[in-house]
Structure 1
Amino acid sequence: MQIEKLIEKIKHYRWLSVGLLIPIMVIGLLLVILVKQDTAPSSVGLVSSPQLNTGKKTEKDVKKMAGNDKKMTDKETERKDRITVDLKGAVKKPAVYTLKQDSRVNDLLLVAGGVTDQADTKSINLAQKLTDEMVVYVSSIGEDRPVEIVGTKAHDDVDSAAAQETDKININTADLAQLQKLSGVGMKKAQDIIDYREQNGKFNQPEDLGNVSGFGEKSLEKLKGSVAVD
């Protein structure tokens, strides 16, 4: 009898315990959830959203763009500080070269590997400053053509002298119209020049023009730089 009563009591308290345990577990679970929500750090604004960042540049992107702009500026500045020169003649590597703006002929020849054994080094001005679009020609030994630097005063003087030489009128070959281009020479004097050379042969020097009627010392002095006999 005592055993049966004991078993009945255990069954009675078991269901009572289960009935009390369930509400306690539910309450405990709710408390845990609430505590976790209160203690969890807010992540709002910390997660980068692709949609929210559309059109915005990060600090890394800004630095990268600034670096690219600086590189482009440096390249533009470098191009402005460069000149292009055409090197020809007795050099080891004749070609078109791009150098710094203040470069000299010596710098150009160093880049080109120097001159050949046939180069006339006496005619080279190594200190000559180069300019953009210049043509430099290094002559060979025995060649009657010194270093040619287009655009310099020396070259301009050579061109001017050549132009003046070309403008001279050859009194041994000029026709009637050409001879009349000479200062103070009309149709009659031009014909006299032609008649003289046909009768006496060509003029050996400009001063021989004094043998033609109508040409005195003053006329010869005036025509001195305008006539040629070659």
Structure 2
Amino acid sequence: MQIEKLIEKIKHYRWLSVGLLIPIMVIGLLLVILVKQDTAPSSVGLVSSPQLNTGEKHEKGVKKMAGNDKKPTDKETERKDRITVDLKGAVKKPAVYTLKQDSRVNDLLLLAGGVTDQADTKSINLAQKLTDEMVVYVASIGEDRPVEIVGTKAHDDVDSAAAQATDKININTADLAQLQKLSGVGMKKAQDIINYREQNGKFNQPEDLGNVSGFGEKSLEKLKGSVAVD
């Protein structure tokens, strides 16, 4: 009898175990489904994250572009503070140079590597300020041409024509810059004219320029009709 009761109890607990197992399996299945649903959005997030990064890069790109928009303004401002000068003659590197405003002839020659051995260094004013579109010509020793010519050739032609069409240059009152407007007269010759009249008094006639060093018959012939005395 006891054996039969024991068997009945085992059968009873077996069905009870089966009954408990089924709900557990259902709960486990539900948990698996819920976990899958939770993981699905995370995978989407991983796919979209590069897009978010792309968006950030795009924003950075926009910021960079915005920064680039300011740079041209800075460059324009920098250009306004620059001058362009054409250097020619007896220099090591004749070329067109861009320098800061208020630069001097000395600064320009340093950029060009200096002058050659044939340069007439006595006629160069290293302290002279440069201006935009200036043409600086360094003459060679014994060369009869201006050391420094201000402005472009077209501008010089206009000035020359204007000088011929209007008043002549008075060699007794003209300053250094005015004298350099004369054909073939550079800074050195202009200074020689001023030195001569300071030492010997005023010129009595244009031909008296022949008494100044560097002015021969050919020079006087070129200046005929361009100079005057008071």
TM range (shorter): 0.5 to 0.7
Larger displacement relative to structure 2 (146-155 or 105-114): 146-155
Matches within 5 A, 1:21-32: 21-23=21-23, 26=26
Larger radius of gyration: 1
Matches within 5 A, 1:6-45: 6-23=6-23, 26=26
Where in structure 2 are there 5+ consecutive unaligned residues? none
Where in structure 1 are there 5+ consecutive unaligned residues? none
Cα shift at 1:105? 1.2
Q: Taking structure 1 as reference, are residues 68 and 22 closer, same or farther at Cα in structure 2, changes over 3 Å only?
A: same
TM-score, scaled relative to structure 2: 0.54
Cα shift at 1:198? 41
The CA deviation string for residues 22-77 of structure 1, in whole angstroms up to 9 with x for no partner, is 23554577689889999999999999688899999965344322321222222222
For 1:192 and 1:125, locate their aligned partners in 2 and report how far apart those are by CA, in whole Å.
14
Larger displacement relative to structure 2 (60-69 or 25-34): 25-34
For 2:94 and 2:186, locate their aligned partners in 1 and report how far apart those are by CA, in whole Å.
52
Larger displacement relative to structure 2 (141-150 or 108-117): 141-150
Cα shift at 1:211? 26
Cα shift at 1:158? 12
Larger displacement relative to structure 2 (98-107 or 197-206): 197-206
What SS does structure 2 have at the residue aligned with 1:45? helix
TM-score, scaled relative to structure 1: 0.54
- Which residue does the alignment assign to 2:73? 73
Q: How many residues align?
A: 230
What SS does structure 1 have at the residue aligned with 2:24? helix
Matches within 5 A, 1:108-187: 108-151=108-151, 160=160, 164=164
Larger displacement relative to structure 2 (54-63 or 40-49): 40-49
Larger displacement relative to structure 2 (60-69 or 203-212): 203-212
Q: Taking structure 1 as reference, are residues 143 and 38 closer, same or farther at Cα in structure 2, changes over 3 Å only?
A: closer
The alignment-based identity, stated in percent, is 97
The CA deviation string for residues 103-137 of structure 1, in whole angstroms up to 9 with x for no partner, is 22111111001111111112112122222222110
For 2:116 and 2:220, locate their aligned partners in 1 and report how far apart those are by CA, in whole Å.
48
What SS does structure 2 have at the residue aligned with 1:51? helix
For 1:134 and 1:184, locate their aligned partners in 2 and report how far apart those are by CA, in whole Å.
18
For 2:76 and 2:193, locate their aligned partners in 1 and report how far apart those are by CA, in whole Å.
64
For 2:4 and 2:113, locate their aligned partners in 1 and report how far apart those are by CA, in whole Å.
120
Indicate the RMSD between aligned Cα atoms, in angstroms. 13.6
The CA deviation string for residues 143-175 of structure 1, in whole angstroms up to 9 with x for no partner, is 122412223999979965995499999999999
Instruction: Tell whether the 8 Å contact from 1:83 to 1:99 is kept in structure 2 after alignment.
Output: yes
Instruction: Tell whether the 8 Å contact from 2:123 to 2:187 is kept in structure 1 after alignment.
Output: no
